[in-house]
Structure 1
Amino acid sequence: MRLPALTTVATLLAAGVLAIPGTATAQSTPNPATKIMVTGDSITQGSAGDYTWRHRLWKHLTANSVDVDMVGPNKKLYDNVHSTGGNLVESDAYADPAFDQDHNAKWGRFLGSHAGYPTGAADLINGDVLVYQPDYLIAALGINDLFWFSTRSPTAVANDMATLISNARAAKPDVRILLVAIPPTKAALDDVVLAGRVSEYNQRLATLAASSSTVTSPIAYAAPPADYQPDYLATVHDSYDGTHPNARGELRIAAAVADVLSTGFALGPPFSLTLTGVPVGPTIGFALRCTPGDGKATLDWDETPGATGYWYQRRVAGGQWEAQVYQLTLADRPLENPWLYNGVTYEYRLQAAKMYDKGIYSNVCSVTPSA
Structure 2
Amino acid sequence: MHSTRRASSHLRLIPVLGLLAALLLPLGMTLAPRATAATATAAPAADPVRIMPLGDSITGSPGCWRAVLWNRLVNSGYPDIDFVGTLPPQGCGQAHDGDNEGHGGELVTNVADQNLLPGRLAATRPDIVVMHFGTNDVWSSIAPDRILAAYTKLVTQMRASNPDMRILVAQLIPMNPSSCAACAQRVVDFNARIPDWARGTGTDRSPVTVVDQWTGFSTATDTYDGVHPNASGDAKIAARWFPALAAVLDAGVPQDPGGPGDPGEDPAACTARFRAVSSWQGGYQGEVTVTNTSAAAVPGWSATVVPAGGARLTQAWNGTLTTAADGTATVTNAAWNGALAPGASATFGFVATAPATAGAPAATVTCTAKTPAA
Partner of 2:212: 223
| Residue pair 2:54, 2:131 contacting (<8 A) in 1 also | yes
- Give the SS at the match of 2:131: strand
Shift of 1:104: 0.9
Q: How far apart, CA to CA, are the structure 2 residues paired with 1:37 and 1:53? A: 14
Of 66, 82, 98 in structure 2, the residue corresponding to residue 54 of structure 1 is 66
Alignment length, in residue pairs? 221
Aligned match of 2:343: none
Instruction: Output the aligned Cα RMSD.
Output: 2.5
Residue in structure 2 matching 1:168, options 148, 158, 165:
158
Aligned counterparts of 2:251 and 2:96: Cα–Cα separation in 1: 18
Counterpart amino acid of residue 34 in structure 2: T
Aligned to 2:86: 73
What is the correspondence of 1:259-338 to structure 2 with a 5 Å cutoff? 259-263=243-247, 266=250
Superposed displacement of residue 46, structure 1? 2.5
Partner of 1:63: 75
Checking the alignment, whether the CA contact within 8 Å between 1:39 and 1:140 is kept in structure 2 is yes
What per-residue deviation string (whole Å, max 9, x for no partner) do you get for residues 137-167 of structure 1?
Answer: 111110101112x2x2011111111111011
Say yes or no: does 1:213 pair with 2:207.
Answer: no
Amino acid at match of 1:134: P
Change (3 A) 1:129 1:190: closer
Matches within 5 A, 1:349-368: none
Match of 2:56 among 31, 41, 55: 41
Matches within 5 A, 1:67-106: 67-77=80-90, 93-96=91-94, 98-106=95-103
TM-score (norm 2): 0.55
Aligned residue for 1:284? none
State the match for 1:16 in structure 2: 38
Deviation, structure 1 residue 262: 3.4
Unaligned stretches of 5+ residues in structure 1: 1-7, 18-24, 78-92, 114-118, 232-236, 269-371
Measure how far apart 1:267 and its partner are: 6.5
Match of 2:317? none
Q: CA deviation at 1:94?
A: 2.9
**Cα distance in 2, alignment partners of residues 243 and 104 from structure 1:** 19
Return the alpha-carbon distance in structure 1 between the equivalents of residues 113 and 129 of structure 2.
Answer: 13
Cα distance change of structure 1 residues 10 and 108 upon mapping to structure 2, 3 Å threshold: farther
Structure 2 residue ranges without an equivalent (≥5)? 1-30, 253-374
| Greater strand fraction, Structure 1 or Structure 2 | 2
TM-score, length basis structure 1: 0.55
- Give the structure 2 partner of residue 110 of structure 1: 107
